[in-house]
């Protein structure tokens, strides 16, 4: 089918995605290729594996979060309609929120993609649709691009630019939200595991930094990268507890990182609840170093005095 030219569907406050993709697990190969192609073209796409890669859904109430995404936080919703989609409870949950949004829209919101000829309950049979059986994925992506219009990152509209910036800052916060950042050096995790986790954090931030705006937020992320580099160099020079040696240098760098994360959260208007510092009797390995921080307050109250940052 032919999809109408440039989209006239303007973004609304709270929208951070150009497109949310709803699909059944059996149709993941199609969903992933579409999401990957559109993301490479500059669009902000909600696709669950993109979020999992940055731990954005870790620990979240998925019923609430996914409901908000499919009803409020995307300009359009692409639904891959198949017999598998109709049978799954999670896709039914996503579909109900998308249909609720569609009822409120004057223009199109749901963009249906037919996979196997199945009919989606609740969706008008007269709505325009794409059919993968009569096309291929590159052609589908071209038609979706026509419908979406210019990617938010390339438009001159301030609202779109703000939406893109907020998504990238959210990614930076998610990358850094790990035990390796929020725990003191003293007896809290294997030092090698900590350094390896921080190195992964640094590499991910280095890839993300050029896409962060405005400039002051980019500088904050660059500063975090610099602090992690300091930690790595200090650790490589040999360990000491005394004076301003290894422990003091590394813990000081971590506190500056935490402060920068708080500044980022405030500039983006996003809450950042600081965890309480973790019990010092536990020693973690690599997998635990990458996990989100959680635990009881230590007697020193290392970061407890920092409180929380609310946007």
- Same domain for 287 and 189, yes or no, is yes
25-29, 52-56, 89-93, 156-160: lowest mean pLDDT where?
Answer: 156-160
pTM above 0.85, yes or no: no
Cα–Cα distance, 111 to 79 (Å, whole number): 6
**pLDDT classification of 78: cutoffs 50, 70, 90:** very high
- For residue 56, pLDDT beyond 70: no
Domain boundary among 106, 125, 154: 154
Of 64-68, 102-106, 142-146, 153-157, the range with the highest mean pLDDT is 142-146
Tell whether 11 is covered by a domain.
Answer: no
- Same domain for 278 and 181, yes or no, is yes
Question: How many structural domains does the chain have?
Answer: 2
- Across the range 11-25, mean pLDDT stands at 78
- Across the range 247-251, mean pLDDT stands at 88
128: left (phi over 0), alpha (psi -120 to 50) or beta: beta
Orientation of helix 215-236 relative to helix 246-267, angle to 10° = 160
Domain boundary among 154, 186, 219: 154
Tell whether 5 is covered by a domain.
Answer: no
52-56, 85-89, 107-111, 212-216: lowest mean pLDDT where?
Answer: 52-56
- Same domain for 166 and 82, yes or no, is no
Cα–Cα distance, 164 to 158 (Å, whole number): 10
- For residue 215, pLDDT beyond 90: no
Tell whether 311 is covered by a domain.
Answer: no
Tell whether 222 is covered by a domain.
Answer: yes
26-40, 97-111, 143-157: lowest mean pLDDT where?
Answer: 143-157
- Same domain for 123 and 237, yes or no, is no
- Same domain for 143 and 30, yes or no, is yes
Percentage above 70 pLDDT, the chain: 75
- Across the range 159-170, mean pLDDT stands at 66
- Same domain for 243 and 217, yes or no, is yes
Range of the domain at 106: 17-154
- Same domain for 113 and 205, yes or no, is no
Domain boundary among 128, 154, 180: 154
> Do residues 109 and 77 lie in contact, with contact meaning Cβ atoms separated by under 8 Å?
yes
Q: Provide the CATH number for the domain around residue 24.
A: 3.40.50.10140
- For residue 162, pLDDT beyond 80: no
- Same domain for 167 and 259, yes or no, is yes
Cα–Cα distance, 190 to 117 (Å, whole number): 54
Mean of pLDDT over the chain:
79
- Across the range 67-85, mean pLDDT stands at 89
Retrieve residue 100's tokens. 């609720």
Retrieve residue 272's tokens. 């950042």
- Same domain for 281 and 232, yes or no, is yes
- Same domain for 109 and 187, yes or no, is no
- Same domain for 68 and 136, yes or no, is yes
**pLDDT classification of 26: cutoffs 50, 70, 90:** very high
């Amino acid at each position: 089918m032919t999809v109408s030219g440039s989209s006239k569907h303007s973004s609304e406050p709270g929208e951070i995605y150009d497109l949310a993709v709803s699909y059944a697990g059996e149709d993941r190969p199609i969903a992933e290729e579409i999401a990957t192609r559109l993301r490479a073209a500059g669009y902000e796409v909600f696709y669950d594996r993109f979020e999992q890669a940055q731990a954005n859904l870790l620990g979240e109430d998925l019923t609430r979060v996914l409901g908000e995404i499919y009803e409020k936080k995307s300009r359009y919703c692409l639904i891959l309609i198949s017999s598998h989609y109709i049978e799954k409870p999670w896709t039914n949950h996503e579909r109900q929120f998308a249909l609720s949004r569609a009822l409120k829209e004057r223009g199109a919101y749901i963009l249906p993609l037919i996979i196997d000829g199945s009919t989606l309950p609740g969706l008008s049979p007269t709505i325009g649709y794409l059919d993968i059986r009569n096309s291929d994925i590159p052609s589908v992506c071209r038609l979706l691009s026509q419908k979406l219009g210019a990617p938010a990152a390339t438009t001159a509209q301030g609202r779109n630019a703000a939406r893109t910036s907020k998504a990238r800052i959210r990614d930076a916060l998610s990358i850094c939200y790990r035990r390796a950042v929020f725990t003191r050096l003293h007896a809290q995790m294997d030092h090698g595991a900590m350094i390896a986790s921080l190195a992964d954090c640094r590499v991910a931030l280095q890839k993300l930094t050029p896409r962060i705006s405005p400039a002051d937020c980019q500088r904050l992320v660059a500063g975090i990268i610099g602090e992690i580099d300091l930690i790595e160099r200090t650790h490589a020079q040999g360990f000491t507890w005394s004076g301003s040696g290894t422990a003091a240098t590394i813990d000081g760098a971590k506190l500056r990182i935490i402060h920068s994360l708080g500044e980022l959260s405030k500039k983006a208007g996003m809450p950042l609840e600081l965890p309480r510092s973790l019990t010092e009797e536990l020693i973690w390995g690599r997998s635990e170093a990458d996990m989100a921080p959680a635990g009881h307050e230590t007697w020193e109250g290392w970061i407890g005095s920092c409180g929380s940052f609310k946007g």
